[in-house]
Structure 1
Amino acid sequence: MRILIGQPVHERGVKQIKEEIEKNKEIDVVLYPEGYLFDKESLENACNIAREYNTIIITSYRKDNKDRAVIISNYGEKILERSKTSSNVNEELCNPLVVNYNGITIGYILCMEILKGVRDFKKVTSKINFIAHPIGVGMFSDEQFELWINEAKKIARTHKTIVLGTSHADGSYRDCGISIPISYCIDSDGKPIYISKSDVRTRIVNLNTKEVEIKYDK
């Protein structure tokens, strides 16, 4: 399985994701950041792109000014859709946490939900092939960057699965002006397949061979 992990800039349409899929038609899955799909129209357009190019799209969309999780099948159907969990430490991750599709089980963590992943994925009894982690914007400090990467490693080790994440290339948390774009893939032993810090080039990861291809053109 070949997964394209992109770090687009924010936009109101779907131009970037369509162009990346057109340039990389051999991929099976696209992982894009939290909130990349700006509105319902963008979501519908993404469904059309997934169907047209026979590609699964994992990202997030905005509805009523809130981020929602979404996985779109290669037939253009929403196979996972849910709200984002609140930051309250006592609130468990919103369901569904996983979706079973075409013989694989895909897990989903939305941005800051990663801080609850080790605890709450224990309720999943089936083998998870990989967990996708769309992130809104880059990290606001080196300490946050290390914290989230370490949480991804813990989740991977604890639940014996691959964890992949990506943020937008632009924007900052609550417009603080500081942003460290992040993109990563951790294997099921908790070891990095790659970790990208302030390098917004697109990666394609082959989950079968753990090989990483870096795309130099944006």
Structure 2
Amino acid sequence: MKILISQPNHEANLEQLQVEIALDYDFDTILFPEGYITNEGSVTKVCEVAKHYKKMIITGYLDNSKKDRALIINQYGEIILERAKSPMNDILYSPSTVEVDGYKIGYLLCVELLQGLLGLEQQEHVRNLSYVAHPIGVGMFSEEQYDEWISEAKKIAIKYNTMIVGTSHADGSFRNCGISIPIAYCIDSTGNHIFISKNDLRTRIINLETKKYEVIERTLV
């Protein structure tokens, strides 16, 4: 499996998704941040895009009450995982794993990363995960948060003996605090990073089988 990992700007027209998914590169899945899809009506359009390009899309969307929800759409344009975001200091909502074409995928939505170490144990199919996808809303609001989240991701990778892949938006900040460190990363099952992108907005494609990646030499405009 090859995953395209993008760090788009917040936008309402899905332009960056449509540009990225049409790239003439070899990949079968695309990972976008939490809340990239800004309304429920656009989910149908994203399903059509996934079906047209025959790519799985892993991201998140905002419902009509502006609450974040999890979303995975398969290459046939079918929604295979959809749920609310787990509240802080609560159990990790189910489903947070899904099986597709022989792969077992874990899913953590943004701050759910901090619930994932124990929370994934309560999910079905948690054994032999192919990887964990981690759509993040905005960049880190401090170096301390950056270090904490990378540390938590490594713990999850080691505990479940799987890769974990995450990405945030290129713009925006937590509660509009004005501070944002855009982040994208891939950590292998031993807790070693294949790459960690910090304030580097380039798109990457990771081959999960070879643990190698390529950088698409193109930045956002």
**TM-score class, shorter:** over 0.9
State whether residues 25 and 53 of structure 1, in contact with CA within 8 Å, keep that contact through their aligned partners in structure 2.
no
Letter of the 1:203 counterpart: R
Letter of the 1:117 counterpart: G
Q: Which residue of 2 aligns with 1:200?
A: 201
Kindly state the Cα deviation for residue 128 of structure 1 after the two structures are TM-superposed: 0.7
Across the aligned residues of Structure 1 and Structure 2, the Cα RMSD in angstroms comes to 0.9
Q: Which residue of 1 aligns with 2:178?
A: 177
Alignment of 1:99-178 (within 5 A): 99-124=98-123, 125-178=126-179
CA distance in 2, matches of 1:72, 1:190: 28
Letter of the 1:33 counterpart: P
CA distance in 2, matches of 1:13, 1:66: 19
CA distance in 2, matches of 1:17, 1:216: 17
CA distance in 2, matches of 1:106, 1:193: 18
TM-score computed with the length of structure 2 as normaliser: 0.96
Name the % identity.
50
Kindly state the Cα deviation for residue 13 of structure 1 after the two structures are TM-superposed: 1.7
CA distance in 1, matches of 2:152, 2:61: 24
Q: Write out the 4+ residue segments of structure 1 that deviate beyond 2 Å after TM superposition.
A: 123-126
Q: Size of the alignment, in residue pairs?
A: 216
CA distance in 2, matches of 1:55, 1:25: 12
Q: Which residue of 2 aligns with 1:28?
A: 28
Structure 2 unaligned spans of 5+:
none
State whether residues 96 and 120 of structure 2, in contact with CA within 8 Å, keep that contact through their aligned partners in structure 1.
yes
Letter of the 1:196 counterpart: S
Deviation string for 1:59-80 (max 9, x for gaps)? 0000021000000000001000
Deviation string for 1:113-134 (max 9, x for gaps)? 0001111112244311000000
CA distance in 2, matches of 1:72, 1:24: 21
State whether residues 127 and 160 of structure 2, in contact with CA within 8 Å, keep that contact through their aligned partners in structure 1.
no
Correspondence 1:3 to 2:8:
no
Q: Please, which moves more after superposition, 117-126 or 201-210? A: 117-126
SS in 2 for 1:113: helix
Alignment of 1:41-80 (within 5 A): 41-63=41-63, 64-80=65-81
TM-score computed with the length of structure 1 as normaliser: 0.97
CA distance in 2, matches of 1:202, 1:138: 15
Kindly state the Cα deviation for residue 99 of structure 1 after the two structures are TM-superposed: 0.5
Kindly state the Cα deviation for residue 25 of structure 1 after the two structures are TM-superposed: 4.7
SS in 2 for 1:164: strand
